[in-house]
């Protein structure tokens, strides 16, 4: 009964003529905002408790060792719009991931000027992952990408110029889905050997 009443009320909901008016943004203002957005990142500190904002700003600016200035704008609970004076600084922050503050993950994302700040997804973050117990024949760029693709989008495989990555483990940088538990292992089979 309550569902039917809610449906009836929803169908009766109508915008007034004034509310239906569309506000048009000029192409120039959209281009300017897009250009400024190229110097920005949205970032979320993945803590259930509110963090100390000033400590976060000071700490991250020091840890990142930036060449230019950086500004932090609070956009919500533990979320920030971060503007960099120099694009190189922004790229440095993205390449240096993952970052933490007070033992919590800091998840920076590119700004999409077509989305409101609260629609930006913080579901993926890049991590260096170690692949252990790989057969020597599989410790190379090709197999590293193949195995790590089961974790997420592979960004890079740490190998020598000849493509081999022999050692204790093969290091791979991959985008990991933060909403899913990380698997503890995978079987790799090469010929008759399964490791």
H/E stretch holding 41: strand 40-45
Domain stops at, among 47, 80, 110: 110
Domain stops at, among 49, 76, 110: 110
Are residues 138 and 104 part of one domain?
A: no
Q: What is the pLDDT of residue 33?
A: 66
Q: Which of 13-17, 99-103, 148-152 has the highest mean pLDDT?
A: 99-103
Q: Is residue 139 part of a domain?
A: yes
Q: Is residue 99 part of a domain?
A: yes
Are residues 152 and 102 part of one domain?
A: no
Are residues 75 and 101 part of one domain?
A: yes
Which token pair is 68?
């230019």
CA atoms within 13 A of residue 70's CA, in its CB half-sphere: 25
| Residue 133: burial class (beta carbons within 10 Å; 0-12, 13-18, 19+) | exposed
Which pLDDT band holds residue 105 (cuts at 50, 70, 90)? Answer: very high
Are residues 104 and 134 part of one domain?
A: no
Domain tally for the chain?
2
Are residues 133 and 91 part of one domain?
A: no
Domain with residue 59: its CATH number is: 3.30.70.330
Are residues 130 and 189 part of one domain?
A: yes
Q: Count other Cβ atoms within 10 Å, centred on residue 181.
A: 6
Are residues 105 and 46 part of one domain?
A: yes
Q: Is the pTM of this model over 0.85?
A: no
Q: Which of 56-60, 67-71, 173-177 has the lowest mean pLDDT?
A: 173-177
Q: Is residue 102 part of a domain?
A: yes
Domain extent, residue 149, equals 125-194
Q: Is residue 85 part of a domain?
A: yes
Q: Is residue 105 part of a domain?
A: yes
Q: Is residue 16 part of a domain?
A: no
């Amino acid at each position: 009964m309550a569902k039917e009443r809610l449906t009836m009320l929803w169908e009766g909901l109508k915008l007034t003529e004034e509310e239906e008016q569309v506000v048009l943004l000029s192409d120039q203002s959209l281009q300017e905002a897009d250009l400024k957005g190229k110097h920005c990142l949205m970032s979320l500190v993945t803590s259930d408790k509110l963090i100390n904002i000033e400590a976060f700003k000071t700490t991250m600016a020091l840890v990142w060792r930036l060449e230019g200035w950086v500004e932090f704008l609070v956009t919500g609970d533990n979320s920030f719009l971060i503007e960099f004076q120099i694009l190189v600084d922004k790229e440095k922050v993205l390449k240096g991931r993952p970052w933490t503050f007070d033992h919590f993950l800091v998840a920076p994302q590119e700004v999409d000027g077509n989305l409101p700040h609260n629609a930006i997804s913080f579901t993926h973050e890049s991590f260096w992952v170690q692949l252990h117990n790989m057969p020597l024949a599989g410790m190379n760029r090709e197999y590293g990408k193949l195995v790590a693709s089961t974790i997420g989008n592979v960004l890079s495989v740490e190998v020598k110029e000849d493509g081999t990555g022999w050692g204790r483990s093969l290091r791979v940088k991959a985008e990991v889905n933060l909403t899913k538990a990380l698997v503890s292992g995978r079987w790799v089979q090469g010929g008759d050997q399964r490791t």
